[in-house]
Structure 1
Amino acid sequence: MTSKEHQSDPAVGAEDRARLLAGTHHDPHSVLGAHPVPGGVAYRALRPHARSVTVVRGPLRAELRDDGDGFFSGLLPPGAVPEEGRLRVAYEGTVHETADAYRFLPTLGELDLHLMAEGRHEGLWRALGAHVLTWRGVRGTRFAVWAPNARGVRVAGSFNFWDGTGSPMRSLGSSGVWELFVPGVGEGELYKFEITRPDGSRSLRSDPLARRTEVPPATSSIVHVSRHVWEDAEWMAHRADTPVHEAPFSVYEVHLPSWRPGSTYRELADQLTAYVSETGFTHVELMPVAEHPFGGSWGYQVTGFYAPTARLGTPDDFKYLVDRLHQAGIGVLMDWVPAHFPRDEWALAEFDGRPLYEHPDPLRAAHPDWGTLEFDLGRREVRNFLVANALYWCEEFHVDGLRVDAVASMLYLDYSREPGGWRPNEHGGRENLDAVAFLQEMNATVYRRCPGVVTIAEESTSWDGVTRPTHVQGPSGFGGLGFGLKWNMGWMHDSLRYMAHDPVHRAYHHGEMTFSMVYAYSENYVLPISHDEVVHGKGSLVSKMPGDWWRRRADLRAYLAFMWAHPGKQLLFMGQEFAQGAEWSEAAGPDWWLLDPAYPAAPDHRGVLDLVRDLNAHYRATPALWQRDTDPSGFEWITGDSASDNVLAFLRHDASGRPLLAVCHFSPVVRHDYLVGAPDSVPAWSEILNTDALVYGGSGVTNPGPLKPEPRHAHAHPTAVRLTLPPSATVWLRPA
């Protein structure tokens, strides 16, 4: 063979051929497709399983030579293959014609790559993942994935017989991103990334930024195109009108798969919207809806951070649910889990053959409690992945708030770790400085880009400044974390411990009900009775109360009215609003049969549900209960030390000073002529809510008519209201 003939040989060279077959080629576009060579245009294609490949351009038909192993090549005349050239590929029993993927320039621009390298691509989901688009006049799907340690990446899916050999992706330089535009691939196709790891082995991985997945236990990603047309413009336009901490905020926590087992997102859009509207909650909080392989994790072990779980429908179906709730005036909060992820070999763990999303230090990577891996929050690309994910749910799904799970496990390097099982930070402390910086960045970014959205921390320690703005430094030396609200775990534990005591012993634990006011204004709080309190042997809320069934229900009703009157927002987990007696089960869901009129005890459960409905109605209509939640001037003790009587009494004030008087009596006896101190500025009071009312299943001991204060000194006030305190009940009074 002469030198000239050798230069004109269009076949793929031995080295490139070996790398393409091994899945280790970083630039397949430099080899495949049309390339000028001496004497014409070399055309090379890699089409495994094909019988023949023909280049088609207008009347031109040029069949390529079969070079074996799926390679085809040919030498075409100069200028014979312009941009519009296509490939006709014959397989056994079928012929497929398409544009050649390897004639296209990269679909990602320099700005995208620069922002990703900086860790500042706030619309990351628009760059990575699978996107149907028209590129250079051709319709197809752009696949892009971050895998900086990979020796090669190929895309495999239903469109190429799950053989990625013919679909190698190109590396976009130091960004660590691999990209390929595949003509003809559209919505609904299944795909994964086939990654060749540093050791040469291959791994098939789901897309970290997949926006739709198969129904578990299947694990493929799905090319998705959203067609939902939003109809919540009025809600979105006004949700930022009033800051959340100055607005009514009463939350119904829901595990969607089990709320009505078997229901889809669209069915829940009817059922859940109607129920929450009837019961009067201002918001629903959804336990994690991001895709997760094991239903028993309740969504807290996420593998598909950008995909709503396919168990209940498509991403557009989930958008429809949010849309319907908004149209009914109901806000949507979502549990978000940036603390950890599971080790499934098809997901994020050692994604490209080395620790990538997880911390490279084994002492920092393994979560000691859950058998999962912790994110490497010091890596800018990982922070970008998570910050963009928070924005994704708020911007693409119109979510109104993110309740961030397990914040304490992120903040402390020694969380659940024994001595010697963790390393101090650069200052010798136990604080996770990377996590602090991440949470500050996430909160600041969400509040900047998404007006009206609130972030809520599940943080169980006394970390200073969880809800302080990020730019305000506290005594600890850290700026605030920037959350809008924080779960008040101390209030929850103390108050439930008090209620679990028999009333005869409660006098000795009275401080458990009053201590929360010592720190009530240190953060912006939510009072959470969440799913965590009614699982793993803890019993349901009503079952925590002592005594017989009547006393348990009475205590529950009194407790709920105390909770709704206490400073802070309210959260109640599904089933507790009608006194479900059993623990929650994700398999069975709430015991709705308890409300069936045919069930003899249904009135007992309906009474509690009616109380919750009325609590929410009065709450919404009474600014004193929410307008100054974070202002100490919005609260005033009447008596916090009547321990022997098991009585608490306090005032709530709205911005104009108009009060509500709450009197809580946690003893199963009637107390007649009980004097409760009251401000002399109110000429008469009216009882607007009494948890002992017959309609709620109580004994009917009420205080009818206007109640005029007497000139009797009581509880440090010059006047007092004479009340009959019902057994185990809370009474709300307001100016007549």
Structure 2
Amino acid sequence: MKKKTLNIIKNDPWLEPYTDAIVGRHNEALNKEAELCGPDGTLESFANAHNFFGLHHTADGGWVFREWAPNATAITLIGDFSKWKIMKKYALKPKKNGVWEIKLKPNDIHHGDLYKMMVSWDGGQGERIPAYATRVVQDEQTKVFSAQVWSPEPYKWKVRRFRPDTRPLMIYECHIGMAQEREGVGTYTEFRDLILPRIAADGYNAIQIMAIQEHPYYGSFGYHVSSFFAPSSRFGTAEELKSLIDRAHELGIAVIMDIVHSHAVKNEVEGLGRLDGSYNQYFYGDSRREHPAWDSLCFDYGKNDVLNFLLSNCKYWLQEFRFDGFRFDGVTSMLYYSHGLGQAFNGYDDYYNGGQDTNAITYLTLANKLIHKINPNAITIAEEMSGMPGLAVPIKDGGIGFDYRMAMGIPDYWIKTLKEKKDEDWHPTSIFWELTNRRADEKTISYVESHDQALVGDKTVIFRLIDKEMYWHMMRDDDNMVVARGMALHKMIRLVTASTINGGYLNFMGNEFGHPEWIDFPREGNGWSYKYARRQWDLVDRKELKYMLLNAFDNAMVHLISSVYNFQSLPVVKLWEKDDDQVLAYMRGDLAFVFNFNPSKAFTGYGILAPAGEYDVVLSTDNPDFGGYGNIDESVSHLTQNDPLFAPSGKEWLRLYLPPRSAQVLRLRRATPPKSSKKGFKA
């Protein structure tokens, strides 16, 4: 392949010195694909391990079970059907390439039976849950996990085909278990019936669900996965998860799964840790085996059998459950031998200095290629903080192929600002640069805060702003200045972040209305309490509280942005920034966004150079319906004033009243209304 054909280098001349490394990675992926698929195969046909391994029905009504365990010397199924005793009848036979197999008659096992494998190896023996188990349950009394024979009637889908709306993509990040009001673990069905309607009403067109893959410890937030092909049974059955996804599609909501392929739980009985007795079946067998920061195991992406397992896992979730894509967790950890720990990533040399795991880069490239082959409309998002170029560039252009990357620097910026800067030191130049500083050839998901900022040990934005005053002064008739400041900045921070997206916007469940306190899952340190592992929806539903005002603003903001077709692709044109005044203004399409971050100064007739014409206010953070004071008269139209000095530019002075800590969005009138992707919305 000619080096000059890679668009990633054409689009960024600063990458030219690293052409050999970029082309080398690209060719590594192409060569590995050819190796895996052979002369006549495809990536789609290769990624079929889940249809071969595990437990399956046979044409004669019986069963076949297979496991890949090259280090095993014997494997026997044990379970309810054998009274948990080792019986010769249930012994697997060794086949080629480390594969073990057993064929069973229809009545040898039954739907609902619990089972495991008893695996023997030279020098040891142990119970194991099959790697490809699709249902794993925990006994409430003993807390022991087992696989379960699961063969119900196939789920009948209501929505046959669904195409996500990504123009723009507005993501509601959520967790099934903690989505409910009650203290306990929520279910797929409760989420479908109680939470999806809220999300639809809020205007989000996608949900990103955390903790779907089975994990032994609930408090891990789903990050220590044990059974990669099993949806967590603590939330319900696979059919109930499918019903949730089906209902989301009926509501026009895409469903993105948070997939964890960056590491796995260390557990040996429940997980893949030593499934066949060896240390290096799925994971590295040397010093790279254990993740130094996560207390977990690292996959060996250089093994074809591991690639088969992980690629098949992607295909399984897409086809069996009809997920619309994935957010890949911990991508930074995968990309570097150091897992990115302790690295600053200050320049391009840091991305091409030999410290990158080419095998992991190859896997991610092939995963993206496979996912988009199976579903061309699928969404892939990389959670990655180092900023490696090309991550969200198409594979054909020399990239790794993600559709989006998380803009992880933005929440860090807001936290640093709130912690270290006085209100009068907030500079619009800094805010605008941080929110718009991104690679031109990559789309990002911008966000103020995700679940990471809501977990114990950190603080949400609203809690940093208002803190303990939230407990006493959130009644609508209570005019507390701490709360007023906090609500004003909460709205402004969200609006400036959401309105500068070049790909999509993300909000974590409850943060749209300023959910108080933190997330703390049941653990020994809190007496195994569910008090903070839930969402207090009653707060936003109560009309006497201010939470509903923040929610109303978020709804208006999301609906306004979503009403503009391809909003994320419109240029962000800076109109005005003045750090002394703390005023920022920019335009996207017909919408002008004007912010006054000044904590004390109001400006009358403040002039902003904008395209000539008449402007109407379509959104104001100072609207009383959103907890503001109503100092912006939204009924007044603003006609720009001519200035001969700027006549050649087509700009005139747009003069506005700017109250302190306020933002307003104005629409430039056109002869023909802008094309809308949302019918019936009126700003």
TM-score (normalizing by structure 1): 0.75
Whether contact under 8 Å (2:208, 2:257) holds in the other structure is: yes
The answer on 1:548 being equivalent to 2:493 is no
Equivalent of 1:445 in 336, 349, 370: 370
Three-state SS of the structure 2 residue aligned to 1:367 is coil
The answer on 1:710 being equivalent to 2:641 is yes
In the other structure, the counterpart of 1:99 is none
The answer on 1:409 being equivalent to 2:333 is yes
In the other structure, the counterpart of 2:70 is 148
Distance between the aligned counterparts of 2:37 and 2:599, measured in 1? 66
Three-state SS of the structure 1 residue aligned to 2:516 is coil
Three-state SS of the structure 2 residue aligned to 1:214 is strand
Shift of 1:522: 4.3
Instruction: Kindly provide the CA deviation profile for residues 337-383 of structure 1, in whole angstroms up to 9, marking residues without a partner as x.
Output: 00111111212002101124443342221101111100111111111
Whether contact under 8 Å (1:349, 1:373) holds in the other structure is: yes
In the other structure, the counterpart of 2:507 is 572
Q: Which amino acid aligns with 1:170?
A: K
In the other structure, the counterpart of 2:574 is 637
Distance between the aligned counterparts of 2:80 and 2:519, measured in 1? 40
In the other structure, the counterpart of 2:354 is 429
In the other structure, the counterpart of 1:590 is 535
Distance 1:558 1:204, change over 3 A: same
For residues 193-208 of structure 1, what are the structure 2 equivalents within 5 Å? Answer: 193-199=117-123, 201-208=124-131
Three-state SS of the structure 2 residue aligned to 1:322 is helix
In the other structure, the counterpart of 2:681 is none
Distance 1:227 1:643, change over 3 A: farther
Three-state SS of the structure 2 residue aligned to 1:676 is strand
Three-state SS of the structure 2 residue aligned to 1:668 is coil
Shift of 1:325: 0.9
Q: Which deviates the most, 529-538 or 304-313?
A: 529-538
In the other structure, the counterpart of 2:584 is 648
Distance between the aligned counterparts of 1:408 and 1:196, measured in 2? 36
CA RMSD in angstroms comes to 2.7
In the other structure, the counterpart of 1:506 is 426
In the other structure, the counterpart of 1:191 is 115
Q: Which amino acid aligns with 1:354?
A: S
For residues 260-275 of structure 1, what are the structure 2 equivalents within 5 Å? Answer: 260=180, 261-275=184-198
Instruction: Kindly provide the CA deviation profile for residues 546-601 of structure 1, in whole angstroms up to 9, marking residues without a partner as x.
Output: 77111001000111111221123110111211112312234332233423537x5x
Q: Higher relative contact order by CA 8 Å / sep ≥ 6: 1 or 2? A: 2
Whether contact under 8 Å (2:435, 2:500) holds in the other structure is: no
In the other structure, the counterpart of 1:461 is 386
Q: Which amino acid aligns with 2:598?
A: S
For residues 46-65 of structure 1, what are the structure 2 equivalents within 5 Å? Answer: none
Distance between the aligned counterparts of 1:259 and 1:238, measured in 2? 26
In the other structure, the counterpart of 1:562 is 496
Instruction: Kindly provide the CA deviation profile for residues 2-23 of structure 1, in whole angstroms up to 9, marking residues without a partner as x.
Output: xxxxxxxxxxxxxxxxxxxxxx
Distance 1:449 1:698, change over 3 A: same
Whether contact under 8 Å (2:92, 2:100) holds in the other structure is: no
Equivalent of 2:516 in 574, 577, 581: 581
Instruction: Kindly provide the CA deviation profile for residues 258-305 of structure 1, in whole angstroms up to 9, marking residues without a partner as x.
Output: 110443211221111211111111111111211100011011110011
Equivalent of 1:665 in 590, 596, 618: 596
Distance 1:151 1:396, change over 3 A: same
Distance between the aligned counterparts of 1:536 and 1:115, measured in 2? 52
Distance 1:119 1:660, change over 3 A: closer
For residues 177-326 of structure 1, what are the structure 2 equivalents within 5 Å? Answer: 177-184=100-107, 185-199=109-123, 201-215=124-138, 217-233=143-159, 236-239=161-164, 244=166, 247-260=167-180, 261-326=184-249
In the other structure, the counterpart of 1:64 is none
For residues 374-385 of structure 1, what are the structure 2 equivalents within 5 Å? Answer: 374-385=298-309
Distance between the aligned counterparts of 2:493 and 2:322, measured in 1? 34
Three-state SS of the structure 2 residue aligned to 1:301 is coil
Distance 1:717 1:730, change over 3 A: farther
Q: Which amino acid aligns with 2:192?
A: A
Distance between the aligned counterparts of 1:275 and 1:570, measured in 2? 18
Whether contact under 8 Å (1:120, 1:384) holds in the other structure is: no
Equivalent of 1:609 in 548, 551, 557: 551
Shift of 1:720: 1.6
Whether contact under 8 Å (2:168, 2:566) holds in the other structure is: no
Distance between the aligned counterparts of 2:387 and 2:210, measured in 1? 24
Distance 1:487 1:173, change over 3 A: same
Whether contact under 8 Å (2:44, 2:370) holds in the other structure is: no
Distance 1:112 1:176, change over 3 A: farther
Distance between the aligned counterparts of 1:378 and 1:112, measured in 2? 16
Shift of 1:660: 1.3
Q: Which deviates the most, 301-310 or 253-262?
A: 253-262
The answer on 1:327 being equivalent to 2:327 is no
Q: Which amino acid aligns with 2:585?
A: A
Shift of 1:117: 14
TM-score (normalizing by structure 2): 0.81
Shift of 1:608: 0.4
Distance between the aligned counterparts of 1:367 and 1:335, measured in 2? 20
Three-state SS of the structure 1 residue aligned to 2:629 is coil
Shift of 1:219: 1.1
Structure with larger Rg: 1
Whether contact under 8 Å (2:134, 2:229) holds in the other structure is: yes
Q: Which amino acid aligns with 1:606?
A: M
Shift of 1:115: 11
In the other structure, the counterpart of 2:5 is none
In the other structure, the counterpart of 2:652 is 719
Shift of 1:457: 0.1
Equivalent of 1:396 in 320, 323, 338: 320
Distance between the aligned counterparts of 1:428 and 1:337, measured in 2? 26
Q: Which amino acid aligns with 1:675?
A: G
Distance 1:281 1:237, change over 3 A: closer
Whether contact under 8 Å (2:172, 2:509) holds in the other structure is: yes
Instruction: Kindly provide the CA deviation profile for residues 142-196 of structure 1, in whole angstroms up to 9, marking residues without a partner as x.
Output: 1111101111111111111112332111112125343433441232111111111
Q: Which amino acid aligns with 2:505?
A: Q
Q: Which has the higher strand share?
A: 1
Distance 1:504 1:449, change over 3 A: same
Q: Which deviates the most, 358-367 or 141-150?
A: 358-367
Distance 1:596 1:349, change over 3 A: same
Distance between the aligned counterparts of 2:610 and 2:274, measured in 1? 64
Three-state SS of the structure 1 residue aligned to 2:593 is strand
Residue segments in structure 1 that go unaligned for 5+ positions in a row: 1-110, 420-424, 474-479, 654-658
In the other structure, the counterpart of 1:365 is 289
Aligned sequence identity (%) = 25
Instruction: Kindly provide the CA deviation profile for residues 619-640 of structure 1, in whole angstroms up to 9, marking residues without a partner as x.
Output: 22112623x16xxxx221112x
For residues 654-693 of structure 1, what are the structure 2 equivalents within 5 Å? Answer: 659-669=590-600, 670-680=602-612, 683-693=613-623
In the other structure, the counterpart of 2:474 is none
Instruction: Kindly provide the CA deviation profile for residues 286-339 of structure 1, in whole angstroms up to 9, marking residues without a partner as x.
Output: 112111000110111100111111111111111111111111111111110001
Distance between the aligned counterparts of 1:180 and 1:457, measured in 2? 41
In the other structure, the counterpart of 2:15 is none
Paired positions, count: 587
Distance 1:467 1:685, change over 3 A: same
Whether contact under 8 Å (1:498, 1:510) holds in the other structure is: no
Shift of 1:520: 5.0
Distance 1:112 1:456, change over 3 A: closer
Whether contact under 8 Å (2:368, 2:400) holds in the other structure is: yes
Residue segments in structure 2 that go unaligned for 5+ positions in a row: 1-35, 344-349, 467-480, 522-529, 670-683
